[in-house]
Amino acid sequence: MASFTRFTNCHLIDNGQLYEYTDLYVNNKTNKISHPPADSSLITITVDVHGNILAPGFLDIQNNGIYGLNFSNLNANSTPQDVAAFDKFYKDAMTKYLSTGVTATCPTVTSNFPEVYEKVLPFYKKSRLSTQTDSLGAHIEGPFINLKKKGCHPVETFVDAKEGEAKLYHIYGESNLIDNVCILTAAPEIPGVLDLIPLVKSKNIVFSLGHTMADYKTGIRAVECGASMITHLYNAMPQPHHRDAGVVGLINSPELGEENTPYFGLIVDGVHVDPSMVNLAYRSNPDKCVLVTDAMHLIGLPDGTYKWDDQYIVKTGDRLYLKGTKTLAGAATTLPQCVRNLIKWSNITLPEAVKTVTNNAAVSVGLEHQKGFLNVGCDADLVVLDRDGYIQKVYKLGREIQSSDINLSNEKNPKVMAVL
C-alpha cells in the first residue's frame, strides 16, 4: 500500500497564480503529485515549508554546459576511457546543477560533426532520476544554420539539407535523433530545411528557428510547416524593423494567431538582451515566453580565459565573449537569477515569472503531463522559494536537496514581496 508525503504551511505557485495556504501531496511509491489520500493514516511524512512558497522545479531547455562540463565535448578521437570519464563528469555536473533549482534540462549540443553527435547524444536520453537534474532530451543547435549568424559556432561544421531526410540522419544518426533529442534548432532559409520540418515534428521533436537570416514571410512558412519555437530571441537573427519584423515578429503575429504563435527562448541575463527588450518580448506574449540560461560550461568557474575547441572564451563575471572579439559566447547566469531579473525588468509578480520556467517551458516541449506543473500525476520535482524568489530547497522526486541559490544580499525586493 502506498504512503504519502504532505507539504504543509506553504503557498503554491502554479499557472502564474499564488494559492495561499494550500497543501500538496506526493505518492511516495510513484514519486508523483497526488490527491490527498482518503485515509489520513497513510500520510507518513509531513514537511513544514514554514510559510514559504512551493513551485514546480525549474526547466532549462537550452544549456550548453555546466560546472566545467561542455555537453559537446566528445569526438571521433575519444577513447573508451574518455567516454567513461565524460560519463562520470556528466553525472557529477548534473548533480551539482540540481542544487540551483533546475530539475530538468535540455543538454545543448552546438553545431558539430556527425561523430560528435554519435558519441554525446546517447548520454542525453530522457531520464527520471532522484539524484540529479534530468535530461529532457538533447537540444541540437545546428549545424543547419546560417553562416551570417554563426555566433560562436564552428563554421567548418555547417551543412545544408539538400539531400533531405538522408542528410538529417547522416548528421545526427537516425536512432540518436529519434531516441535522444528534444529540440532541433535550424535556419529555415538553408536549402532543404523547410521540407524537413514536418519530418522532425513527426518524430516528436520540437523544431526551433535560430541562427537565421530568415525574413518574416519565411518564418511564417516555417511555422506553417510545424516549427513551434524560436531559439534565444533577438540573438543570432535579424533585428526587427517596424516595416520588416523578421523572425522576432512571429511572437505576436496576427497571421498566426495565439494558438500557432511559437514559443520563444529568452536569455534574461542583462548581457544577451537589454532589459527594455526583455520587457518588450515578455509583454508581447507572456504565455509563450520561456526563460533559458544558454549557459556555457564556464558557469560556476572562476573568471579567466578558457580554451573551447579551437577558440578561447574570456569569462568576466557572467559575461562570456570570444577572445579578442565582441561576440557573445553563451551565458553564465543561473535560471533563478533570470527569474528575478524578469520580475524587476517587467514589473511582474513571482508567480508570473515562475510560469516562464515551469508551465511555459513544459508545454513548449510537450511534457506538461509529466513536469513543470503541480498537477496530479506530475513528477514530484519541486522547489521551495522565499518571498524574494530565492530557492531554499529542492525536492527531486520527493528527495530533499540543499540549494546553492544563496541570497548574498539582505535587500528585499518589494515587487516579489507583493505576491504575499
The Cα 358–Cα 374 span in angstroms is 10
Peptide bond into 143 cis (omega under 30): yes
pLDDT surpassing 70 at residue 269? yes
Q: Are 145 and 235 in contact (CB under 8 A)?
A: no
**14, 60, 134, 294: the active-site residue:** 294
Domain of 391? 4-56+373-417
- Are 336 and 356 in a shared domain? yes
Same domain for 163 and 41? no
Q: How many domains does the chain have?
A: 2
279 in the same domain as 340 = yes
Do 344 and 387 lie in a common domain? no
Mean pLDDT computed over 57-80: 95
Through-space distance between the first and last CA atoms of the chain, rounded to whole angstroms: 38
Same domain, 172 and 182: yes
pLDDT of residue 417: 41
Q: How confident is the model at residue 15 (pLDDT cuts 50, 70, 90)?
A: very high
Q: Is the pLDDT of residue 412 over 70?
A: no
Residue 153 has pLDDT above 60, yes or no: yes
Cite the annotated binding site by residue number: 141, 152, 211, 232, 235-236, 243, 272, 328-330
Say what the pLDDT of residue 136 is.
Answer: 98
Helices 275-284, 335-346: axis angle to 10 degrees equals 80
Pair 113, 39 in one domain: no
> Quick one: 284 and 393 in the same domain?
no
Residue ranges for the known binding site for substrate are: 152, 235-236, 243, 272, 328-330
Percent of the chain having pLDDT more than 90? 85
| Cα-based torsion angle of the residue sequence 385, 388, 390, 394 in order, rounded to the nearest 10 degrees | 0
Tens of pLDDT along 38-50? 999 999 999 999 9
Asked whether the predicted pLDDT for residue 411 surpasses 70, the reply is no
CB 121 within 8 A of CB 180: yes
Q: What is the pLDDT of residues 135-151, one digit of tens each?
A: 999 999 999 999 999 98
Q: Binning pLDDT at 50, 70 and 90, where does residue 416 land?
A: very low
Amino acid sitting at position 126: K
Smallest CA-to-CA distance from 136 within 97, 96, 180 is with: 180
User: Is 78's pLDDT higher than 60?
Assistant: yes
287 vs 16: CA distance, rounded Å:
9
pTM over 0.85: yes
Q: Parallel, antiparallel, or unpaired: how do β-strands 311-316 and 304-308 relate?
A: antiparallel
Helix (H, G, I), strand (E, B) or coil at 218: helix
For residues 255-266, give the mean pLDDT: 95
Q: How far apart are CA 23 and CA 34, in angstroms?
A: 11
- Whose cell is 511524512? That residue is 45
- Residue in the block written with cell 535522444: 180
Say yes or no: 111 and 199 in one domain: yes
Do 358 and 382 lie in one domain? The reply is no
Between CA 210 and CA 221 the distance in angstroms is 14
pLDDT tens track for 271-319: 899 999 999 999 999 999 999 999 888 876 788 898 877 788 888 877 7
pLDDT tops 50 at residue 419: no
Q: Which band of pLDDT confidence, cut at 50, 70 and 90, is reported for residue 409? A: low
C-alpha cell at 237: 537573427
Question: What pLDDT sits at residue 298?
Answer: 81
On whether both 267 and 176 belong to a single domain, the answer is: yes
* Interval 193-215: pLDDT, tens: 999 999 999 999 999 999 999 99
Tell whether the model's pLDDT for residue 418 goes beyond 80. Answer: no
CATH classification of the domain holding 39:
2.30.40.10
Residues 180 and 329 in one domain: yes
Q: Which three cell numbers stand for residue 192?
A: 532543404
Please report, in range form, the residues annotated as the binding site for Zn(2+): 141, 211, 232
Secondary structure class of 357 (helix, strand, coil): coil
Instruction: Count other Cβ atoms within 10 Å, centred on residue 89.
Output: 15
Which CATH number is 295's domain given? 3.20.20.140
Express each pLDDT in 383-398 by its tens digit.
999 999 999 999 999 9
d(CA 293, CA 68): 15
- Annotated catalytic, 244? no
36 and 120 inside one domain:
no
